């Protein structure tokens, strides 16, 4: 029996779990951070919660006799990705990183790419009404900017207190272009700040921003650890994992 551990929390990780579970002689364990309430669960065995750093993950790989590790976490889950690379090096368990492709600027887009959330915040000036989709834990970086009004959309609520110039909208994709357009108009938003997460489920905001002439501040992905093997499709990850062990 081949045993595959998928580090998840993404639609791609769920799709990969479903693909691998259908393969003969393959046992799949999916791992979730356990921070989102009511997460979408993959098929098969699921464990939740951190491992306790690279050492804890290395111990888990040995105890559970894992043959192959797929890091299918979100492109901005930087610590988990670093931990997976370190645990793979320490144990010799082969690692593959599955990342959906990033978004690409097209005709009619007005994007400004930056290297960090702080760099994005530094570009926001008084009078802006910001559509902020960078996640609830990033809110403190943006909430203190003078004269900047925020519509902060996230899956779970941010830590209180939320200042009065921040309107929190709890929602989870997929989103439609019509819905995003209506939201931008309703709240008279004039700039979008987002991370380069990629994927179709949350891309409608980019189309709506283009149509309504909103500039976009796009936070680039953090770099991958050096030397890791990377694929960008579930099919490629399935083939790789099915050939291990």
Nearest CA among 77, 75, 140, 73 for reference residue 101: 75
171 versus 178: smaller Cβ distance to ligand NAP: 171
Please, what is the minimum distance in Å from the beta carbon of residue 137 to ligand NAP? Answer: 7
CB crowding 56-73: b at 16 or more within 10 Å, else e? ebbebbeeeebbbbbbbb
| Candidate list 4, 5, 7, 191; residue touching ligand NAP; CB under 6 A | 7
Considering the rule CB under 6 A, would residue 65 count as an interface residue with ligand NAP? Answer: no
Report if residue 225 touches ligand NAP, rule: CB under 6 A: no
Per-position x/- string for 126-165, each x denoting binding to ligand NAP as judged by CB under 6 A, each - no binding: ---------x------------------------------
Q: Does 83 bind ligand NAP (CB under 6 A)?
A: yes
The CB-of-147 to ligand NAP minimum distance in angstroms stands at 27
- Binding residues for ligand NAP, rule CB under 6 A, total 23
Q: Rounded CA gap, 162 and 164, in Å?
A: 7
Of 91, 39, 42, which is closest to residue 69 (Cα–Cα)? 91
* Nearest-angstrom CA–CA distance, 234 and 158: 31
Specify whether the CB–CB gap between 97 and 228 falls below 8 A: yes
Interface pick for ligand NAP out of 50, 102, 179, 222 (rule CB under 6 A): 50
Q: Does 70 bind ligand NAP (CB under 6 A)?
A: no
| Stretch of 29-37, 99-107, 109-117, 157-165 contacting ligand NAP, by CB under 6 A | 29-37
Residue pair 151/214 in contact by the 8 Å Cβ criterion = no
Rule CB under 6 A: say whether 10 interacts with ligand NAP.
Answer: yes
Q: Is 74 in the site for ligand NAP (CB under 6 A)?
A: yes
Please give the residue ranges that form the binding site for ligand NAP (CB under 6 A): 7-10, 31-33, 35, 50-53, 56-57, 73-74, 76-80, 83, 135
């Amino acid at each position: 029996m081949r045993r595959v551990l998928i580090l998840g929390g993404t639609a791609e990780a769920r799709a990969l779990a479903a693909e691998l579970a259908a393969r003969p002689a393959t046992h799949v364990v999916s791992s979730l951070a356990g921070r989102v309430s009511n997460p979408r669960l993959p098929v098969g065995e699921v464990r939740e919660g951190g491992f306790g750093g690279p050492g804890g993950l290395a111990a888990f790989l040995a105890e559970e006799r894992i043959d192959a590790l797929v890091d299918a976490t979100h492109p901005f889950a930087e610590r988990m990705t670093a931990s997976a690379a370190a645990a793979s090096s320490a144990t010799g368990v082969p690692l593959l990183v599955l990342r959906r492709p990033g978004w690409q600027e097209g005709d009619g887009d007005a994007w400004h790419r930056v290297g960090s959330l702080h760099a994005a915040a530094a570009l926001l000036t008084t009078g802006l009404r910001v559509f902020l989709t960078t996640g609830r834990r990033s809110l403190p970086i943006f909430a203190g900017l003078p004269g900047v009004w925020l519509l902060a959309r996230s899956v779970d609520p941010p830590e209180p207190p939320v200042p009065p110039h921040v309107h929190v909208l709890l929602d989870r994709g997929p989103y439609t272009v019509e819905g995003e357009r209506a939201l931008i108009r309703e709240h008279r938003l004039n700039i979008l700040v987002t991370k380069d997460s990629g994927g179709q489920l949350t891309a409608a905001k980019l189309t709506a921003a283009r149509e309504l002439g909103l500039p976009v501040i796009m936070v680039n992905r953090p770099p991958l650890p050096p030397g890791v093997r990377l694929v960008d499709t579930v099919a490629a990850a399935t083939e790789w994992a099915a050939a291990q062990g």
